[in-house]
Amino acid sequence: MSGGLLVAGTTSDAGKSVLTAGICRWLHRQGVKVAPFKAQNMSNNSAVVVGPDGRGGEIGRAQAMQAAACGLAPDLRFNPVLLKPGSDLASQVVLLGEAVDTITAGTFRQLRPRLAETAYAALAELRTEYDVVICEGAGSPAEINLRAGDYVNMGLARHANLPTIVVGDIDRGGVFASMFGTVALLDPADQALIAGFVINKFRGDLGLLQPGLDMLRQVTGRPTYGVLPWALDLWLDAEDSLAYGRVLGRPAAPHGTDWLDVAVVRLPRISNATDVEALATEPGVRVRLTVEPAELAAADLVVLPGSKSTVADLAWLRETGLADAVLAHAAAGKPLLGLCGGFQMLGRAIHDPVESQRGSVPGLNLLPIEITFDPRKTVRQSVGTAHGDLPVRGYEIHHGYVSDANPTLTPLLTGADGVGEGAVLGVVHGTHWHGAFESDGFRRWFLTEAARLAGRTGFTVAPDTSFAAARERSLDLLGDMVEEHLDTDGLWRLIEAGPPPGVPFIPPGAPPG
């Protein structure tokens, strides 16, 4: 068979990514050969995949998570088009893993036919190799200003004749209006592919919700395939940092007597914010994203995360007073960690004729290094050690590299080639490697060292926390929720038979496109 389904949403962050992953895990458990697909993703949270030519390429981190739900290694075709916003007006275009252009809204229209062709071809290939492909839309299919060139929502569904379910987040309010309005704004051919709905993040008595579900069916002629409950444990591998609340996850009670408080600066163009999720899996570690200088002063460990616009975000740090708070934190002898773009900010200077094109700008001068940006992008998986022989795995995505450094500077990590990476100077630590803290031994060592530097003598890491196991538990929970709360027989009929015939047209509808 070559079945398929599109998971669309009433809004961004409605639950498309987690529902797609949950359906993938449910099908994988049934022995179905299933793969995920997102034609175009706009996110600065990406994962590195080794392509068929042996080179590293990027896809959205959510699609890497969905691949894991399918029991698969990530594939560049799972997310053929990735847009990485560098500002409000421009994004880097990553096509089948490779950065090929930087576009604005105007130039995107010119490039869009090539992107659509690539996305359609990738989906066609996957459908010949897998029994089922579960596709995820982007934003909302009712963004009618973008419908003419759409190839990720109803444009994709129309092209591949995919039955489509629409998920809405009831926790935001207005879920029935948004579901009805989503359908009613589509033209007749698009509406014919909308099979029904899923409600996400419900808390309370389902009996109180049922009259609304019945009325939604009456006015749309389409069923609700189920209601997913609110689940506090679903927070790993977020599609975008906007999905985070102030505190990541549900911090477990400390293994020792002290908590370790970690403040992560929410940069305007934060990238790979998922790096700090691994820290938040440890008992007694409270990780929060913040833009408040006062919260840095109260933290034990401060983290400067990755950035898609390092120079611009460094200027923002200075404008907001956060740079002074970072410097005061380090001057007080408390630990500081910079990751990728955050690491680059810690040096003496950044020379950037590429990303910002601002030339040379001063860094925070906390590490004796200088960073130079290269038009060629480093995208690769990395393997090495830390603190002697602790194994570390990670990945790199950056234009900037260390072009000058004090030769006596201690590296934080050592690559498999024996070359040092990153830096440690007193309380200041930095690395270009993303994902390094998913390596359990390295994470435990670093948190123990951070606690020592912060004076948290009662903090003790748990001896058995496994990040990989935590991710698997999250994926299994998604699969459980699909099995327990959705009409899986109905979903299977859609996957196997395609769009249901005879669904009614809901006026007013958009003009036929």
Q: Which two tokens stand for residue 78?
A: 């799972």
Q: Cα-flanking dihedrals φ and ψ of residue 495, to 5°?
A: -60, -40
CB atoms within 10 A of CB 122: 21
Residues 6+ apart with CB under 8 A from 512: 187, 188, 189
Q: Is residue 376 helix, strand or coil?
A: strand
Residues 6+ apart with CB under 8 A from 415: 382, 383, 384, 421
The torsion region of residue 421 among left (phi > 0), alpha (psi -120 to 50) and beta comes to beta
80-96 burial, b at 16+ Cβ within 10 Å, e below that, comes to bbbbbbbeeebbbbbbb
312-333 burial, b at 16+ Cβ within 10 Å, e below that, comes to bbbbbbeeeebbebbeebbeee
- Catalytic-residue membership of 159: no
195, 503 in Cβ contact below 8 A? Answer: yes
Q: Which two tokens stand for residue 106?
A: 């105007």
Residues 6+ apart with CB under 8 A from 78: 35, 36, 37, 38, 59, 63, 64, 66, 67, 126
- Look up residue 64 and give its amino acid: A
Q: Of 329, 340, 429, 485, which is the active-site residue?
A: 340
Residue 222 forms beta bridges with which residues?
none
59, 79 in Cβ contact below 8 A? Answer: yes
The rounded distance, in Å, linking the Cα atoms of 17 and 274 is: 15
* Closest to 229 (Cα-Cα) out of 254, 249, 209, 245: 209
Residue 99 forms beta bridges with which residues?
94
- Look up residue 239 and give its amino acid: E
- Catalytic-residue membership of 135: no
Q: Which two tokens stand for residue 39?
A: 């034609």
414, 428 in Cβ contact below 8 A? Answer: no
Residue positions annotated with a catalytic role: 340, 434
